[in-house]
With several copies, the nearest count.
Chain A
Amino acid sequence: MQHDVIFCGFGGQGTLFAGQLLAYAAMDAGLHVTWIPSYGPEMRGGTAHCTVIVSDEEIGSPLVRAPSYVLAFNNPSVEKYELLLAPNGVLIHNSSLTSHAITRAEIRVVPIPASDVAAEIGNAKLMNMVMMGALLQCSQMLPFEAIERALEAHMSTRRPELLALNKRALQRGVELAQAQSAGLGVEASA
């Protein structure tokens, strides 16, 4: 079983870190994983994205043309990756910031008001964790605890109060996605 996830957003939205967190969790769970960022002279301010592949077998290509999951943090990302998503893929987007109307019918679209929820929790920067929670819920690729443990293990220990907030954000993401899939009925398998 292989999961291909693209995380994409503006620089500063925590896109790369979210991807790395997933990679850490997958590694700690004994799975094969690759994380690869886009890099360029226009990284700052521009678009940041990364690809994470999680698999129970050796991973060949660390890049995918058509990901099974896309976590889109902003509008341009939704626009771009709607088209690239694999058939029956899942597009999770931060509906607090996105307005792009999605036209592809056979993909599963999961709008998550992640920025708003993060602000509610108390820190707009937690947006990426809310999205991550939604990804976990939609994909079931790793148990929730795996990400929690990864957070504990790999997050800077300088501000321990943040850890609880991050976990809270993750949890909220799970819940929001659960609510969504409830609405949708059957989950599309990627």
Chain B
Amino acid sequence: MIANTVEVDPSDRVDPLDRTVEELVAQRPKTLSEIDTHYCPGCMHGVAHRLVAEVIDELNIRERTIGVAPVGCSVFAYNYFECDFAVAAHGRAPAMATGLKRVMPDKVIFTYQGDGDLASIGSAEILHAAARGENITVVFVNNAVYGMTGGQMAPTTLVGMKTTSSPYGRDLKMSGAPLKMSELIAQIDGVAFVSRRSLHSPAEIRKAKKAIRRAFEMQLNGQGFSMVELLSSCPTNWDMKPVEALRWIETRMVPVFPLGDFKNSVPKNSVRGV
């Protein structure tokens, strides 16, 4: 978001008296396409997209990055990123990414997955990509529901939370407790980096971006599997205003899904990509 190297905009106005110059400090990253997203107003998928695009810009890897979109609201991600993209079958993005990475080890491969996609139908694929230490990066957007299909319970739905498929609230006896994927994945040997961050405030978003950058750097360093889980909102299916939804992340989700790095390998040599 905040460009590391200050970019001087052609439209900059220099005020000779104040001896100041106007710099463009925030704009759409180049790796984000100009197309408007179909995401609902206030849906943090948009922020997650932008952060990934900014990291790709900063690491200057757009031309050798291939993304894998999931099935979920972000199935359209291929449309929104200005880099090569594939759309995987529901849950299988890590397998597809494995196929891509194994034949092109010098390319940067990332998946972008929702919680239904990654933690439910695709749980075997994420587990084994991690176990193989697959040198890919996973951006995991946890919004506690299945967004695209209309707000059903996800493995990450909070206990007591009402969804269209848990109309009485998620019941511990019937459906168990939320799955904490970051904690689980971090257990696995081949994993280089796992971090859970939240998108509920500008400060947290800045931290999330750092984590995403670190995850991509891990891959560039050949250090193995890296994943960033992002707590995100689904105002539509939560039936909340966007602002309210972010507060809900902070007050309700963060206590269940604590933020932090769950695995953070020592960097190898320097980043190859920059």
Chain A residues with CB under 8 Å of chain B are 41-42, 44-45
Contact = CB atoms under 8 A, between A and B. Distances in A.
A45 B148 contact: no
Secondary structure at the A interface, as helix, strand, loop or mixed, is loop
Contacts of B148: 41
A44 B73 contact: no
Contacts of A45: 40-41
B264 interface: no
A103 B75 CA distance: 39
A12 to B, nearest CB: 11
B38 interface: yes
Interface of B: 38, 40-41, 73, 75, 148, 236
A44 B75 CA distance: 16
Given A41-B38, A45-B40, A45-B41, 6 more contacts: A41-B73, A41-B75, A41-B148, A42-B38, A44-B40, A44-B236
9 contacts: A41-B38, A41-B73, A41-B75, A41-B148, A42-B38, A44-B40, A44-B236, A45-B40, A45-B41
Nearest to A45: B40
B91 to A, nearest CB: 17
A55 B53 CA distance: 55
Contacts of A42: 38
Nearest to B41: A45
Contacts of A44: 40, 236
A95 B160 CA distance: 45
A100 B206 CA distance: 45
B235 to A, nearest CB: 10
A16 B41 CA distance: 22
Contacts of B41: 45
A6 to B, nearest CB: 23
Q: Top 8 A-B pairs ranked by shortest CB distance?
A: A41-B148, A44-B236, A42-B38, A44-B40, A45-B40, A45-B41, A41-B73, A41-B38
A179 B38 CA distance: 41
A48 to B, nearest CB: 14
A42 B150 CA distance: 11
B164 to A, nearest CB: 14
Nearest to B147: A41
A41 B41 CA distance: 15
B45 to A, nearest CB: 13
A41 B73 CA distance: 8
A41 B236 CA distance: 12
Nearest to B76: A41
Nearest to B75: A41
A44 B41 CA distance: 10
A92 B209 CA distance: 51
A137 B196 CA distance: 59
A42 B38 CA distance: 7
A45 B148 CA distance: 13
A43 to B, nearest CB: 8
Contacts of B75: 41
Nearest to B39: A45
A45 B41 CA distance: 9
Nearest to A43: B150
A116 B50 CA distance: 40
Nearest to B72: A41
